[in-house]
Chains A and B, each alone.
Chain A
Amino acid sequence: MTVPTSVAVLRQRCGSVKEYARDRIFSVTRSILFETSCDSLDDSASAPAVRFRLAGAADLGALGEKPHEYDVSAKKFGFDRLQGGDSFVVGECDGDVVFYAWLMHDQIDLDQNVLIPTAEHIAYSYRVFTVEKARGRRLCGAYYTWLKRLLQEEGCKRLICRIGAGNRGSIRAHTRAGFEPCGDLWKFVLARHCTYRADRRLREWLGNLCPAEYFSSSGLLLRHNS
């Protein structure tokens, strides 16, 4: 009989407890919203070995926990998003999916399933992921170059994304791809109740972008869809 006392199992269980506490008991997290214009193309950031394409439910179903870090609940969420009209993009190298990303139209996502409608012709990029073996090849920049061309053809003007303040790698990659910060969004969790608050800079920026009814004058998110 194997007794589950290995360090890996302990780490996993501690991780689950930490996640539970963060999501349901108390936590304060900060994320940053970034924006770029779809007209600003950076042709130097191309990676010819990777082919990007819009993907569908079959591609999503084929992703696995390794190396794509896509589990069953994430897939369920993904199928739901496809039904909701979001676009799913994969980057392939020698027939393998080494990169994937999601795109939402005319609304932004301040948390999972916390959607705020925006003005039209705005795209929101989320869940951008590169598999471990393909990291460091500037796929993120190449993806955004490809994506901006696509969005230009569709008449889209601005591209937005939200990145956790601690995710330095992603912030670096997005800044390199032409994104500029628009302000901070704070999420407060206390006893399973979530509150979102935008700083002054983000509040002004969102004021031009989202219906006013979604934010109070103090930056508190008043209404969302969950």
Chain B
Amino acid sequence: MAIPKIVGIETEFGIMVRGTTDWNPVSASSLLINAYVGTDAGGLEDRSGPIAWDFVDEMPGADARDMLAPEFSMPPEVETHLVNAVLTNGARYYVDHAHPEVSTPECRNALSVVLFDRAAELIVIDSMAAAAKVLPEGQEIVIYKDNSDRKGNAYGCHENYLLDRNLPFGQIINAATTHFVTRQIYTGSGKVGSELPGVSRSDVPYQLTQRAEHFEEEVGLETTLKRPIVNTRDEPHADAQKYRRLHVIVGDANMSQVATFMKVATSSMVFAMLEDGAYNDPILIADPVQAMHAVSHDITLSKPLTLTDGSTATPLEIQWDIFTRAKKWSEQFGMEAVGEESGSQALQRWEQTLHGLESNPDQLASSIDWIAKKRLLEGFMERHGCDWNDPRLRALDLQYHDMRPAKSLAQRAGLETLVTDEEAARAVYEPPTDTRAFFRGQCLKRFADKVVAANWDSIVFDVGDDPLRRVPMMEPGRGTLEHVGTILDESADVVELLEKLGA
């Protein structure tokens, strides 16, 4: 039986300060986030400062391959001194390395992820406005939702899926690798040129994704160098006996809500199928790292990949295979694990998208980022009589991801939306009701002055004279409106809440 595919995404944003050459990304990111959480926009107006992230359970060095790891892996660093806030919608907003990053709250399905990803965009937009008020005249912080500076530096949009601990990791590796390499045909955000040494502009004028070229390994623990297609970080932020959190680092950040939806929904289905034993024999690609690059470089989507059995298949054919199995799985097992509504919408989209990619990809310019961007680039070239070498195309490529509404090209590209901005504006403050993020967010909304710190799987309260009280939340599917709504409503203060919870 597949367990609920609770999922969240974390986006590292690109950052620039305009109007000065004297700036560094760490302080700019801190200023941006502090400016946001220091205003009413932060949703914590009852408190003097933001609620801190609690690092006590973090162990990003833990490796899913267990004892194999220490021989060839270094644990990633955790920078506990940087700005790190928890928001009332259950999200985390912080400085990660040299980037501002938003982690959505835990979501119950892919549609909910789209809502909270759009909320994250609104948070970033509000943050730029808040920062403008404290920056010197003539300076401006600009945020980009992309994954690469096109000079060899990449930053991630990571997905996290709740998986059953009993599912053997080897099975996850096989199925995930095949899906991650081939889903690029609809998840890519598009990039002008190549960042690989020795690949010229004429070899690759335009490619599907920003991230693909930054992957060098099939499986591993790293996230900042020698990036692996399947990341083995084993940090469930939940009951480790029951759950695994698959940390997925291969994806592009999407401007298109449909692309974000498909990326998360199709992957959720792949993992649910695995747990139901309905996907035991995935097509296996012979050289996944090389294929990762090759798929991204082939905008014709026609070049076949070599499989482990010596035969070949195009990424589209492989996606048709995964889709067909997913459809069959949904008929046999139902889609409770991925959410019925989200799941059936995803299957429809998946089929339409594969048909579109097969017959006339340009038709998908309102839903798939790399196609939407390509339309702008080709239109620009035709109008101005220029070719791929024109620097304005590279500017256009970057500006597609500009988060300023007045400058964003994605905003103007006619992309279809799945959530309204009114809904997303509510989701800036309101947590999802159907995961433990509800309890986290509600506690921050109601008892902000008593919350000392919070993280994914616990909240620490200060109830006065007593020692600090930690409430563990090891079940991502509990602490929902259904579970704790009444208790929260009936508790006049934190002491009463803790009594009722038996904590």
A and B are partners in one complex rather than unrelated chains: no
Name A residues whose Cβ lies closer than 8 Å to a Cβ of B: none
Name B residues whose Cβ lies closer than 8 Å to a Cβ of A: none
